[in-house]
Amino acid sequence: MTCQPIVRAGEWTQDSNRHLAGFLPMPRNVLIVDDERDTNDILASLVQARDMTPIQVFAGEAVFQAVRERKPDLILLDLMLPDTDGFTVCEKLKRDRETNLIPVILVTALNDAHHRLSGVRVGANGYLTKPFTPDQLFAAIEEAMDWHSEHQQHGTHGEINFDIRSEPTFLQQTNDYLSDLYAHTPLTERQIKDLKQVVLEMGGNAIEWGHRRNPELPLRLTYRIDAEKITIVIRDQGPGFNPSQIPHAASDEDPIGHLDVRNELGIREGGFGIMLAKGLVDEFSYNDKGNEVTLVKRFPRD
């Protein structure tokens, strides 16, 4: 949409060639998304000159079909498109498990902090501001490919902690938010659904039994991802309990016997949460006190 030239005259140098002479795997197919034909063509010839195959599209909606059919190794995405904006397209690509590992470089004439931040928020892997030199373009491509190979080797690693108010809606929101993170792991849709269910059950217990529904008590959720698994720890501030002494809860051996106990004690219907959660994760354990539960889901091997 912009009329600014993207390459300044005289900047196509031998240095550009050397820059690319490294050993990083470079993309084979590069999807170029820009409604400005000139810009699109220039980008195409630049990547072509580096032995990459350009795939040119001129509108946001064409991206998804092109991605499905041509399976690009990298996407150069203009921010201002006629039918939609690059952020929306990028976000959609990054939320889809089929496409979220394709590096996306946002290409734009806008260069302010706000836009960069939005780019980061939608998961873009690079940002290129017009006008740019070939060296800058290739440096951005290299960096994005670096991210890609790093990601392929190690996956998403790290740990996030949340201290939330003890309210079911906050628990629900955090859980939903985290499913975006799961999409970057090899977990299947089914496993993600199971894991979300387990967090709701165990977080629900922390709120109801650990905190006796006092919303002011902070509930701590820890999500840890490594190469093989995701570990979720849910900790409450309550007195804990002894998980081997809950006659009012179901067990694998006797899934309904506890119902009479609950009836006698005048406890609401239920008592299935822990049994259900145990069946949906690969490891399930409480700390000694009983106010912290650790849940592990291992990634499927391919």
- Residue numbers at the binding site for Mg ion (CB under 5 A): 205, 273
Q: Which is nearer to ligand ATP, 25 or 270 (CB)?
A: 270
Picked from Mg ion, ligand ATP, none, the partner binding residue 286 (CB below 5 to 8 A depending on kind) is none
CA-to-CA separations, 258 to 6, 48, 264, 286, 291, in angstroms, rounded: 71, 69, 10, 21, 22
Query: Over 196-231, what HEC string results?
Result: HHHHHHHHHHHHHHHCCCCCCCCEEEEEEECCCEEE
In the complex, the smallest distance separating the C-beta of residue 272 from ligand ATP, rounded to whole angstroms, is: 4
Q: Which is nearer to ligand ATP, 12 or 286 (CB)?
A: 286
Residue 167: strand, helix, or coil: coil
Q: Which is nearer to Mg ion, 79 or 274 (CB)?
A: 274
Closest CA to 211 of 152, 279, 177, 164: 164
In the complex, the smallest distance separating the C-beta of residue 249 from ligand ATP, rounded to whole angstroms, is: 4
Measured at CB, which residue is nearest to Mg ion?
273
In the complex, the smallest distance separating the C-beta of residue 19 from Mg ion, rounded to whole angstroms, is: 58
Footprint on this chain of ligand ATP (rule: CB under 6 A)? 201, 205-206, 209-210, 236, 238, 240-241, 246, 248-249, 270-274, 291
Q: Which is nearer to ligand ATP, 37 or 212 (CB)?
A: 212
Are the beta carbons of 261 and 212 closer than 8 angstroms? no
In the complex, the smallest distance separating the C-beta of residue 201 from ligand ATP, rounded to whole angstroms, is: 6
Beta strands 53-57 and 74-78, pairing class: unpaired
Closest CA to 139 of 154, 151, 129: 129
Picked from Mg ion, ligand ATP, none, the partner binding residue 236 (CB below 5 to 8 A depending on kind) is ligand ATP
In the complex, the smallest distance separating the C-beta of residue 176 from ligand ATP, rounded to whole angstroms, is: 20
Picked from Mg ion, ligand ATP, none, the partner binding residue 119 (CB below 5 to 8 A depending on kind) is none
Picked from ligand ATP, Mg ion, none, the partner binding residue 249 (CB below 5 to 8 A depending on kind) is ligand ATP
- b/e 117-133 (16+ beta carbons within 10 angstroms → b): ebbeebbbbbbbbbebb
Measured at CB, which residue is nearest to ligand ATP?
273
Q: Which is nearer to ligand ATP, 4 or 285 (CB)?
A: 285
C-alpha 251/C-alpha 294 separation (Å) is 19
In the complex, the smallest distance separating the C-beta of residue 196 from ligand ATP, rounded to whole angstroms, is: 15
Q: Which is nearer to Mg ion, 60 or 203 (CB)?
A: 203
271 Cβ neighbours under 8 A, 6+ residues apart = 246, 248, 249, 250, 258, 259, 262
Q: Which is nearer to ligand ATP, 255 or 300 (CB)?
A: 255
In the complex, the smallest distance separating the C-beta of residue 168 from Mg ion, rounded to whole angstroms, is: 12
Picked from Mg ion, ligand ATP, none, the partner binding residue 16 (CB below 5 to 8 A depending on kind) is none
Closest CA to 202 of 275, 262, 252, 251: 275
C-alpha 171/C-alpha 184 separation (Å) is 21
Distance of CA 96 to the CA centre of its chain: 9
